[in-house]
Structure 1
Amino acid sequence: MNVLHIDSGILGDHSVSRRLTAAIAAQVKADHPDATITYRDLVADALPHLTGAHLMAANAKPEDVDATVAGDVATSAVVLEEFLAADTVIVGAPMYNFSLPSQLKAWVDRIAVAGKTFRYGENGAEGLAKGKKVVVVSTRGGHYSSGPAAIMDHQESYLTAVFGFLGITDIEFVRAEGLNLSDVSKASAISEAERNITDLGKLKLAS
């Protein structure tokens, strides 16, 4: 089993999403000792956001590509290969201002590559990354999974859409909501998420 572990929380040791992705990775390793886990910290080793020069480099002659852009393209190739090689992807995705951390969006832009993870045909778009399992740790200061604030969720809805576009339909959310409402609410949300992680049988990880 090849597992890709992604973190994007900017709060370091105070990040709940990092705490929970680490718990999932540890549980996976305990249940599957032969699993290979590749870790990428999108904050400590941030990916630049896409530029026009980066996109144009794909069709340019190597000698016409700036060295900085060439390095960025090479990094993108590594990021894409990590994703393609993974059977299961663990994604730490805190909600910031109703959406994703920009660091995580930059990673998504490196794995959503025409001809590699999706393509367009006569019947429209087709995802090419089928057969993977994605486990998203979704952490949120308020409650957005239901109720009047659900319309403001552009975090889980986006990740479901983009992974689905890439052909991945086996997506599990481990959610901790209400983290900023009170100390009691935060403790309760984390405890519930950790209970869900302990029961990894429900996650049905790909192998």
Structure 2
Amino acid sequence: MKLLHIDSSILGTSSVSRQLTAEVVADWRRAHPHTTVDYLDLAVETPNHFSADALGIKVGIQAEPTDAQRRENEVSEKLVSQFLAADVIVIGAPLYNFTVPTQLKAWIDRLAQAGRTFKYTDKGAVGLATGKTVIVALARGGIYSTSEGGQAMEHQESYLKVIFGFFGITDVRFVRAEGVAMGEAAKAAALSVARADIATATGHAANQDVASLAA
């Protein structure tokens, strides 16, 4: 089994989402000891934002690709091949301005390739990346899941559920830490809830003794 571990927070060791993805991966490996892990830090290895050069080869705008198009295509092919090779994908996704980090969005834009992760048919789009499990560790400074207003403002979990569903992935699991910026007591409670989510998502008892990092 191959697991792809992805972080996208810009906060380094102060990141809750990084703390949670590390715990998810550790628990998954305890439950599935033969799992191999590939790691990608999108805050360090950030692909360029999607551009005409990244799109050029894919749509055949011109007969001979430019050097810039070839370079961008190499990036896209490396990322989509890594994604497709994984059986399990663990993603750290903090909430920035009501949505995912631009670094994570740039990665997703490289995965969304007709013929690789989806295809168009006479009945609409069909996902091609089936059979995978995605576990997303969400970190939020406030609380969004418990009210209609909060849910309307949140374009993080809702977006990720839609895009991975579009790729054909039906097994998408979420680990939520909400309210981590609302004081130490709220943060501790959020991490406790998140660890219960981890136990459910990985099928392994959560390690309650792991020290918490800062938000």
Normalised to the residue count of structure 1, the TM-score between the two structures is: 0.92
Number of residue pairs aligned between Structure 1 and Structure 2? 201
Q: Give 1:202 shift.
A: 7.3
Structure 2 equivalent of residue 43 of structure 1: 43
- CA distance, structure 2, for counterparts of residue 164 and residue 28 of structure 1: 22
Superposition RMSD on alpha carbons, in Å?
1.6
- CA distance, structure 1, for counterparts of residue 108 and residue 179 of structure 2: 26
- CA distance, structure 2, for counterparts of residue 40 and residue 89 of structure 1: 11
Structure 1 equivalent of residue 203 of structure 2: 201
Structure 2 equivalent of residue 131 of structure 1: 131
Q: Give 1:61 shift.
A: 5.0
Structure 1 equivalent of residue 208 of structure 2: none
Matched, 1:95 2:95: yes
Counterpart residue identity of residue 168, structure 1: I
Matched position secondary structure for 2:98:
coil
Q: Give 1:187 shift.
A: 1.3
Structure 2 equivalent of residue 8 of structure 1: 8
Counterpart residue identity of residue 134, structure 2: V
Matched position secondary structure for 2:145:
coil
Q: Tell whether the 8 Å contact from 2:17 to 2:94 is kept in structure 1 after alignment.
A: yes
Gaps of 5+ in 2: 206-215
| Alignment map for 1:139-150 (pairs within 5 Å) | 139-147=139-147, 148-150=149-151
- CA distance, structure 2, for counterparts of residue 52 and residue 174 of structure 1: 35
Q: Give 1:57 shift.
A: 2.6
Q: Give 1:144 shift.
A: 0.9
Q: Tell whether the 8 Å contact from 2:31 to 2:203 is kept in structure 1 after alignment.
A: no
Gaps of 5+ in 1: none
Q: Give 1:32 shift.
A: 1.8
Q: Tell whether the 8 Å contact from 2:118 to 2:166 is kept in structure 1 after alignment.
A: yes
Normalised to the residue count of structure 2, the TM-score between the two structures is: 0.88
Matched position secondary structure for 2:203:
helix
